[in-house]
Amino acid sequence: METQKELTAAQAVVRGLCPRCRTGQVFSGPAYGRKRQLMLETCPHCGLRYEREPGYFYVAMFVSYALIVAELVAACIAAYILFGNTENPWVYTGVALVVGVGLSPVNFRYSRLILLHWLTPGLSYEPELASKSSNPAAKP
Ligand SMILES: [Zn+2]
Cα(5) to centroid of ligand 1, in Å?
A: 12
- Per residue in 34-69, pLDDT tens? 888 899 999 999 999 999 999 999 999 999 999 999
Provide the mean pLDDT of the chain: 88
DSSP per-residue string spanning 88-108: -HHHHHHHHHHHHHHTHHHHH
Q: Show me where the domains of the chain are located.
A: 4-131
- Do residues 120 and 80 touch, judged by C-beta distance below 8 A? no
pLDDT at 4: 45
CA of 135 to the centre of ligand 1 (A): 10
From the number of C-beta atoms within 10 Å of its C-beta (0-12, 13-18, 19+), residue 1 rates as: exposed
Q: Measured in angstroms, how far is the CA atom of residue 49 from the centroid of ligand 1? A: 9
Dist. CA 134 → ligand 1 center (Å):
9
Task: Give me ligand 1 centre to Cα 104, in Å.
Answer: 25
Cα 23 to ligand 1 centroid, rounded to whole Å: 6
Residue 69 and residue 62 in contact, taking contact as beta carbons nearer than 8 Å: no
pLDDT at 5: 53
pLDDT of residue 135: 54
Q: What is the pLDDT of residue 44?
A: 95
Which residue stretches of the chain have pLDDT < 70?
Answer: 1-5, 133-140
Q: How remote is the CA of residue 117 from the centroid of ligand 1, in Å?
A: 11
